[in-house]
Structure 1
Amino acid sequence: MDSQERADRRRDDPHGAAVVAEEFGLKGARGWVFHHVRVGAAPGTVVVIEGPSGSGRTSLLLALTGRMRPTEGRAEIAGLPLPRAMAAVRRISGLGHVPGVSDLDPALTVAEHLRERALLQRRFGGSPRALPWPRARRTAEARGRIDAALKAAGLDTTALPKGERTSVRDLERLEALRLSVALALIGRPRLLAVDDLDLKLSDADRAAAWRLLRSVAEDGTTVLAVCGQAPEDANTVIRTNDNEEGAADALAETGRA
């Protein structure tokens, strides 16, 4: 499917979640974690949160995915208001790589991670109509989800040292990122969130990581990505910067060339 076909499909069937925030903020015991966040992003776009470590960027990502309660302003994810509909936002959003929240287990293999996520999806996120399906049909449906997610994440398991039996500890950083994205995509989220995208990546791998997220967005899923430096062609950027009070002011730029 080429870029034009993807764009046409997004218009006809907008799967991704629109992200809207106005004066969005979170205040903790030591002051503002982030505040004055303003953003408006259409479904199926990449929204970049750029800033140094400690500027509130991860907290903002978690707040916009319904996993941290804001204290001021308003936000809507796919029309769902925050913080009132935090549980509903969690159901339509998936976390890729977010250190301390959705870490991969280095002792498990790629296959074990995939099977576990598919099982959790079937038990807690699947349709009730699938409950009476025969076991063979449920297994085939789960395998189909896994294969589609791996393809979307660009992870070729046959190229790994031991295929799907490769341990996470033996994956390269970019491969681990692709696996994290694939695991999130098994749930077919409308919003995908990824933290520390450019951490410990070479220039070539960083470029590949951004191509991955653009591809996910082109397929219709809105992407929220945290990084230290946004790519030049990013069209929606939220910049977080520490100020003298320890707060993080953020402003989104849209339509950036």
Structure 2
Amino acid sequence: MGDLTEGAAVTAEALGLRGPRGWVYRGVALEAEPGTLAVLAGPAGSGRTSLLLTLGGRMKPGEGHAAIAGLRLPQQAAAVRRLAALGPVPGVNDLEGTLTVAEHLRERRLLHFSRRTPRRSVDQVLGLTGLAADGLPGGLGTPVRTLDPLQALRLSTALALLGRPRLLCVDDAEERLSAEDREAAWILLRAVADSGTTVLATALDAPDHADVTVRLESADAHA
């Protein structure tokens, strides 16, 4: 597809995290090659968000081993954070509704410029995520609060991809989406993986588009 990014391999063995109320997740095994769409599937309370943030270098596991592009977790979590980007993660990096699409893109682009990291152009990320300016009521000047859930997913993903990450982490990829839009969301994430970036996404159930699925149980199963 061109503009290929070298994705990060993701591995985990017997990975677990224990919280104040018991195990959040436990015994997780995962092996995903670069450019894979891997889905962490399970019901609410199964620890899927915590596992996603762990593999993105944002949470410290309590047991087991994991590595992202050969970088061990949690020992090299800071290095993992430099190559892994968070797409939409509700409650962690929500879009600012008062800003426009263009303002969000400008802010994120300036952030990556200041860090002198490799980056994609705005046109590249909009093309990859299918966020067409002519499909928005006010073009790129559209306020984010007026976007529908699928458009918001496309924007959050585009923002994450500006820094050309090797790993993209997306939480609750299907949240608030209709059946038709859920299919469009998975096609979007499949396209990102096909471009070379490894994608980790959480969902209630894994779609047919997934290359690898980790099925998580409810917290009661770890008691």
- TM-score between both structures, scaled by the size of structure 2: 0.95
Distance 1:96 1:232 in 2: 21
Equivalent residue of 2:176, what SS?
A: coil
Report the counterpart of residue 169 of structure 1 in structure 2: 145
1:158 deviates by: 2.0
1:244 deviates by: 3.0
Distance 1:60 1:166, change over 3 A: same
Alignment of 1:9-20 (within 5 A): 15-20=6-11
Distance 2:196 2:220 in 1: 39
Report the counterpart of residue 207 of structure 2 in structure 1: 231
In the TM superposition, what whole-angstrom CA distance separates every residue of 1:10-59 from its partner, at most 9, and x where no partner exists?
7xxx7000010000111111111111000111000101011111110000
Q: Show structure 1 runs of 4+ deviating over 4 A.
A: none
Distance 1:203 1:57 in 2: 21
Distance 2:85 2:220 in 1: 34
Report the counterpart of residue 78 of structure 1 in structure 2: 69
Equivalent residue of 2:61, what SS?
A: coil
Q: Taking every aligned residue pair, what percent have the same amino acid on both sides?
A: 55
Aligned amino acid, residue 240 of structure 1: L
Aligned amino acid, residue 30 of structure 1: R
Equivalent residue of 2:216, what SS?
A: strand
Kindly indicate whether the alpha-carbon contact (under 8 Å) linking 1:125 and 1:187 is maintained by their aligned counterparts in 2.
no
Alignment of 1:199-238 (within 5 A): 199-238=175-214
Distance 1:91 1:20, change over 3 A: same
Flag structure 2 segments of 5+ consecutive residues without an equivalent.
none
1:125 deviates by: 4.4
Q: CA RMSD in A?
A: 1.7
Aligned amino acid, residue 168 of structure 2: L
1:232 deviates by: 2.9
1:49 to 24, 36, 40: 40
Equivalent residue of 1:244, what SS?
A: helix
Kindly indicate whether the alpha-carbon contact (under 8 Å) linking 2:12 and 2:31 is maintained by their aligned counterparts in 1.
yes
Q: Does 1:64 align with 2:55?
A: yes
Aligned amino acid, residue 160 of structure 1: L
In the TM superposition, what whole-angstrom CA distance separates every residue of 1:69-101 from its partner, at most 9, and x where no partner exists?
111000000000000000000000111110111
1:159 deviates by: 1.6
* Greater alpha carbon shift after TM alignment, 149-158 vs 215-224: 149-158
Report the counterpart of residue 255 of structure 1 in structure 2: none
Report the counterpart of residue 102 of structure 1 in structure 2: 93
Q: Does 1:126 align with 2:117?
A: yes
Work out which of the two has the higher radius of gyration on C-alpha atoms and give 1 or 2: 1
Report the counterpart of residue 131 of structure 1 in structure 2: none
Alignment of 1:192-203 (within 5 A): 192-203=168-179
Distance 1:70 1:61, change over 3 A: same
1:200 deviates by: 1.2
Equivalent residue of 1:200, what SS?
A: coil
Kindly indicate whether the alpha-carbon contact (under 8 Å) linking 1:50 and 1:237 is maintained by their aligned counterparts in 2.
yes
Distance 1:245 1:97 in 2: 28
Kindly indicate whether the alpha-carbon contact (under 8 Å) linking 1:45 and 1:221 is maintained by their aligned counterparts in 2.
yes
Kindly indicate whether the alpha-carbon contact (under 8 Å) linking 1:31 and 1:245 is maintained by their aligned counterparts in 2.
no
Distance 1:207 1:159 in 2: 19
Kindly indicate whether the alpha-carbon contact (under 8 Å) linking 1:23 and 1:72 is maintained by their aligned counterparts in 2.
yes
Report the counterpart of residue 157 of structure 1 in structure 2: 133
1:243 deviates by: 4.7
1:28 to 7, 19, 41: 19
Flag structure 1 segments of 5+ consecutive residues without an equivalent.
128-141, 248-257
Equivalent residue of 1:33, what SS?
A: strand
Equivalent residue of 2:121, what SS?
A: helix
Aligned amino acid, residue 124 of structure 1: R
